[in-house]
């Protein structure tokens, strides 16, 4: 592959179009995972733009993802929220999955907060826990699915970005401090997130393997966006909501279901919203 599938000028055209629709100059972007679009309820003076109106934006096809950008102010910070992300399993090429990240960068975004619904592998985790991500395991990346494959665009970043500091340690501490202030420490965890391609959930053997590798939670998103954000020099914070327990025993009657994911997300939404608002305030 000799060139990027989307050119710098095409990203810039989309960014310029969005900036022309609003006077907002967002500095923080927030990606809302399955069932977590209620995070935008905390925004003041909102401006909503459906994905289908945005040049070159893909469309989300997953239940629990509304499909719109929401601009507004949160904790005195100018933000843009994605209500609905794009997934590799929907059939989007990886440059489309991550398309908004470069657009946000060209709009002036400096920090990215990613949230997701994830299955818990750590035996100490409970359904409804919040896990701040300290590191990740990029299984699709091992198989060659990486948004940086192809000719490198030097205007975006270096050919070989460092990923040992993918998740900002200061932001991680902001989450833990905020959880203590809000009385959330009983259900606040930190751990390693693994992305699998999906859309099928993990087999028992796959779950056991991931746990042996040190993975605490597993999901089907987030990592490509984080890789691209770090390539762009953005600071990144990741938070997983543990919406189900990954099945680790063959005689278990439990089965992973998307409806359970959405239900747990709805039940814990208010706590996650409060946590994100408090952390954004500390980002000033």
DSSP 245: E
Catalytic position from the list 87, 105, 174, 231: 87
Rounded distance between C-alpha atoms, residue 283 and residue 144, angstroms:
34
Catalytic position from the list 29, 188, 220, 229: 220
195 forms beta bridges with 138, 219
Catalytic position from the list 4, 11, 65, 136: 65
Answer yes or no: 116 catalytic. no
Catalytic position from the list 4, 11, 60, 90: 90
Structure tokens at 123: 């035996």
Answer yes or no: 174 catalytic. no
Catalytic position from the list 258, 260, 267, 281: 258
Answer yes or no: 207 catalytic. no
Catalytic position from the list 75, 89, 152, 248: 89
Catalytic position from the list 15, 31, 107, 117: 117
Answer yes or no: 244 catalytic. yes
Rounded distance between C-alpha atoms, residue 225 and residue 147, angstroms:
8
Answer yes or no: 220 catalytic. yes
Rounded distance between C-alpha atoms, residue 198 and residue 145, angstroms:
13
Catalytic position from the list 221, 234, 240, 246: 221
Answer yes or no: 136 catalytic. no
Answer yes or no: 87 catalytic. yes
User: Whose CA is closest to 192, among 223, 215, 213?
Assistant: 215
Answer yes or no: 105 catalytic. no
Catalytic position from the list 11, 15, 34, 188: 34
Q: Containing H/E element for 50?
A: strand 44-50
Catalytic position from the list 111, 240, 244, 246: 244
Rounded distance between C-alpha atoms, residue 262 and residue 239, angstroms:
16
Answer yes or no: 92 catalytic. no
- In total, the chain counts a number of residues equal to 284
Active centre residues (catalytic): 34, 65, 87, 89-90, 117, 220-221, 244, 258
């Amino acid at each position: 592959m000799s060139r990027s599938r989307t050119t710098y000028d095409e990203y810039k055209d989309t960014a310029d179009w969005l900036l022309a629709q609003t006077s907002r100059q967002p500095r923080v972007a927030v990606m809302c995972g399955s069932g977590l679009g209620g995070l935008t309820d905390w925004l003041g003076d909102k401006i909503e733009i459906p994905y289908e109106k945005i040049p070159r934006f893909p469309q989300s096809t997953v239940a629990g993802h509304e499909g719109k950008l929401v601009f507004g102010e949160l904790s005195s910070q100018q933000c843009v929220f994605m209500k609905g992300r794009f997934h590799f399993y929907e059939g989007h090429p990886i440059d489309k999955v991550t398309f908004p990240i470069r657009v946000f960068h060209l709009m002036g975004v400096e920090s990215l907060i990613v949230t997701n619904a994830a299955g818990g592998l750590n035996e100490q985790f409970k359904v409804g826990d919040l896990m701040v991500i300290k590191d990740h395991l990029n299984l699709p990346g091992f198989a060659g699915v990486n948004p940086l494959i192809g000719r490198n665009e030097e205007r975006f970043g270096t050919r070989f970005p460092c990923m040992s500091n993918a998740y900002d340690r200061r932001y991680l501490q902001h989450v833990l401090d905020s959880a203590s202030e809000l009385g959330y420490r009983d259900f606040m965890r930190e751990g390693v997130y693994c992305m699998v391609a999906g859309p099928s959930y993990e087999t028992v053997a796959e779950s056991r393997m991931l746990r042996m590798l040190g993975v605490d939670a597993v999901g089907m998103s987030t990592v490509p966006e984080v890789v691209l954000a770090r390539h762009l020099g953005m600071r990144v914070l990741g938070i997983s909501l543990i919406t189900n327990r990954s099945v680790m025993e063959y005689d278990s009657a439990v089965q992973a279901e998307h409806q359970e994911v959405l239900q747990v997300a709805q039940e814990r939404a208010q706590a996650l919203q409060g946590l994100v608002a408090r952390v954004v305030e500390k980002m000033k």
